[in-house]
Structure 1
Amino acid sequence: MAIPHPIIAVVDDEPAVRAMLQRALRLAGYHAEAFATGQEFLAALAHRRPDCVILDMHMPGLSGLDVAQQLSGRQLHLPVIFITASDEVSIDGRTDPATTVGLLRKPFPSDTLFEAVEAALRIKARGAED
């Protein structure tokens, strides 16, 4: 079941990364919304809920893991794709396996990003069927 005009949230504190991801996603036919902080993203959920979220692991304030934990605590079962520039980061045992798509290490090819987004949308579609 395809989701019409999927909304992908991009949460990253680096403006260049946000802009690049938002542009790549839009060119691939997704609706992409960008947020500079985890707090900004969580506040926006009151108005619109995306189909999946791309979360940077390291941000000032709330980290990507902090945001994912808040999503889980609010019972918002949004598929999450984590991204990081660090080789030292692991998400093993620290995220909800039902909604975590994976961890992409920057820089990553567009194809890898799109595969992760499609996997996230499949998770979202399965959740809608339950």
Structure 2
Amino acid sequence: MSSLVRSLGYDACVFASAEAFLTSPQLTETACLILDVQMPKMSGLDLQAELQARRSTIPVIFITAFPEEHIRRRAEAAGAIGFFGKPVDGHTIIRCLDEALSTRRTSA
């Protein structure tokens, strides 16, 4: 996924965990997050909730091997820009990323 994002001319950082992201200097510089629902310790949904608690406006896109409808509804209710089951087509991610970044630019 990071290769796809970089091929579009964007910077991409990969983090070992949600906690690593939350303590990184990139937290305040991040324009969009692409998350898995299932991650060690803190899930993608938990990270999304933590960011909301911090009043973050970072757009979130979820990609998951387990695209269950109740999880999709929860993510989207919390403001996720996209929620996709694996494997996901690169063009789909590109469109969603473009939408997330244009939304971020117009709200900044």
Same fold (TM over 0.5): yes
Separation in 1 of the partners of 2:99 and 2:38?
23
Q: Please state whether the residue corresponding to 2:81 is helix, strand or coil.
A: strand
Separation in 2 of the partners of 1:47 and 1:60?
19
CA-CA distance at 1:74 after TM superposition: 0.3
CA-CA distance at 1:47 after TM superposition: 6.1
RMSD of equivalent CA atoms: 1.7
Separation in 2 of the partners of 1:52 and 1:109?
18
CA-CA distance at 1:35 after TM superposition: 0.8
- Provide the residue aligned with 1:26 in structure 2: 6
CA-CA distance at 1:58 after TM superposition: 0.4
Q: Please state whether the residue corresponding to 2:88 is helix, strand or coil.
A: coil
CA-CA distance at 1:93 after TM superposition: 3.8
- Provide the residue aligned with 1:92 in structure 2: 73
CA-CA distance at 1:64 after TM superposition: 0.3
- Provide the residue aligned with 1:7 in structure 2: none
Runs of 4+ in 1 over 6 A off after TM superposition: none
Residue correspondence of structure 1 range 1-130 to structure 2 within 5 A: 21-45=1-25, 48-88=28-68, 90-94=71-75, 95-97=77-79, 100-128=80-108
Q: Which runs of 5+ in 1 are unaligned?
A: 1-20
Aligned pairs, number: 106
* 2:15 partner letter: F
Structure number having the greater strand percentage? 1
Q: Please state whether the residue corresponding to 2:23 is helix, strand or coil.
A: helix
Q: Note if contact 2:21-2:27 (Cα within 8 Å) is conserved in structure 1.
A: no
Q: Which runs of 5+ in 2 are unaligned?
A: none
Percent identity reads 33
- Provide the residue aligned with 1:9 in structure 2: none
Structure number having the greater helix percentage? 2
* 1:108 partner letter: V
Provide TM-score, normalisation by structure 1: 0.74
CA-CA distance at 1:52 after TM superposition: 0.5
